[in-house]
Structure 1
Amino acid sequence: MTRPPRNVLRTPPAFPESALPAFIQKLERPEALVKAQALTFLMFEKRDLGATETFLTDFGMRCVSRTDSQLLARGTGTQPCLLMVRKGQRPRYLGAAFTVNSENDLARVEATTNARRLPPDSIPGGGAGVELIDPAGNLLWLVTGQQPVDPQPLRDPLHVLTNGPGTLRRVNATVRPPLEPAAVVKLGHVVLQTIDFPRMARWYMRHLGLIPTDVQYLEDGSPNLCFFRLDLGNTPSDHHAFVLAGGIEEKYEHSAYEVLDLDALGQGHNVLRANGHRHMWGIGRHVLGSQLFDYWFDPDGMEFEHYTDGDVFTADHETHYVPLEMSGIWAWGDDVPASMGVKRNLTTLFRVARLLRLGLLSAARLKLLGRAMTQARPWL
């Protein structure tokens, strides 16, 4: 594979309007008729309103009105409608509705354009409005006086520094993560596979004083994977510094390195991919440990993980046990890659046959391992 040139890695410059270089033409602003206050809802035409409702529900909206000819869907806020979907012959975008301050704004638009007054019952939530058509033929509705609805329950943001609906912690400031490698802050953990899980686990716990944070067990209840953390007393310790997985060989699985935040993870991903490195898996979020992750192969095919936002626990946190299954590896993101499972080839067949012959692996345990590592998310 040809390595992409490094000059694709660049951050476009940003210039304030007061200091434009000569080659940039200033975009002149005409005098405004009105000042829209919000993007209120969008309008679409669809053939199948039932299928549309199903999708919007799965997408996180709620249908508030459904007839043979129209569907209205809202979100969790006070706006009565986010999407107006009409039944039509072909799926297409129709236009957008914006809120303006008052009836005076509507009258001003009517007096200076060819706007059409909207029937009051055509506006979700009531009020008044006018309809214009843009140069491309799209509808533009200007509305005022809609009645708000009661908000629906919404969980708090998971990241305390994130701007979200009704919560603005970053004002008059932007997020511009630098396009650079994700600076590794520390070595976070290493993961090993072993044939004799009980023996290896005892040895490491004895010699390192490790605390089991989460133990994953097979269908027969036998522990077969453990996330161990360091015993730091009352000082919070990473969910795991060492991971041991029972399997069919003694093997390094991967090591993980903490980076500053999700933006570092994402920009680091860009740098690695642009420079021709081989991506393995991510970006996603793990279940046990909760880390946001991104996995890569080094030039020899060994696995290295960037991660951020992991769980931490003090020594008094109780050990937890969970079933060992593929769905427990990640919460969201692309499907777990085949490279994380057992390779189905002659080498694996000979290895398993040898372990069975030596009594280091039973047929029953082999079946349990196979069932635990089957595909958990067939839709991905």
Structure 2
Amino acid sequence: MIAKQRSKVLTFLLILFFSEACEREPVQNPIIEVGAAIQIISGNNQHEKIGEILSNSVAVQVVDRDQRPIQGVELQFTIISGGGSVSQPKLNSKILGEVSVAWTLGNGPEQVLKVYPVTGTTPEPIYIYANSHISIETKWVKDYSFYAYGVKYNHHNRILESNHFLTFSDGASDDVKIIYSKMAEESFFELKQVFKIINNSDIGFSSEITSCKIKIYTTKHAIYNQIAFPYGFILYGMDSEKYRLWRFDDFLFRKEIKHETTHVLQFLLGLDPSVGPWPDTWFAEGMAEYFSGGAIPPYITTNLLWDRWLEGSDHINPIKIHQFNNFPVPYGRVGEYYPAFSLAVRFLLDTKGLGKSPDDVKAMIKDMLVTRNFATSFEKYMGISVAYYEEHFNELIAEFLRKQ
């Protein structure tokens, strides 16, 4: 009886051993089916200097829907943002489905590496990041609507969800949406650091619910105005004709996304021109330009450059632009004023100017929710009145620029 029981146990263990061994056996000469995936093993979210090789290789594994490794899948490693290089752009997955490459970083503002099959559309591409402030998580979702100021915008229903954003488009590639989203996430993180916002709840924002995330739209073909609105913005994408006409590198585009993200933060802090208080145009746009690093050149850093700006056609004292209808130029030229707006805010915050801080700006905005008046709160926290700043702007700026 005991011998029979031992025999049964031995038989069971042998069956279990061989069944598990079969499950771990790699799939060879694969026909890639739905459910297969490329998984990151290591190398994501590393940090390194420009031109240096990341300390750890980027390693991925190809598996089928039952998580069995797939051997012999040719993968392409392509840097879609940031420049740099990889040790081998194409490799076949090994017996355990694994592939690894060394990644040398370029000098672009966002470092993104795409890994995808050379042939076919399965498994889906994955994206690996370097030099990120945060660990960015993405997935593709659908069936969410995009509204701005009550207007519904059509989109192609392949929406990228990331930590804080939903990225929509009328036809942009997945790569463009990945980079666009990455720039927005990094910008949002940097702005929260500047304004010492620890938790999203501090600004009445929840990223836990997909539908409540910040909604941004990257246009490819659609002719939509570039706008920011409560909890989102619309901006042309990197595969649009506007990008080819207006931008010559990713650095300025990154600043432009941060400019629009600054407007989103203004809304999250409680400002809203449609229902409540809003700063003068020169301050709202100057704040976005200053904290983005300047999306629209030229940057005014000397009195010579300031004099040249003043000599421009229809250029007046920027502090006179209290509302959009105060611009003496058509809508297509309002961007000419943004370097001057940035200079106006820089004077307020620079130690060689008034020496105020982002904390003062944040407190001023909070006070505006009570006073409902920009001029009153501005004088309280900036130490000068808007009227005085407007009247003496040229002499204040001339002295400020002499100190640079």
Give me the TM-score of the superposition, normalised by structure 1.
0.22
Which protein has the bigger strand share? 1
Give me the TM-score of the superposition, normalised by structure 2.
0.21
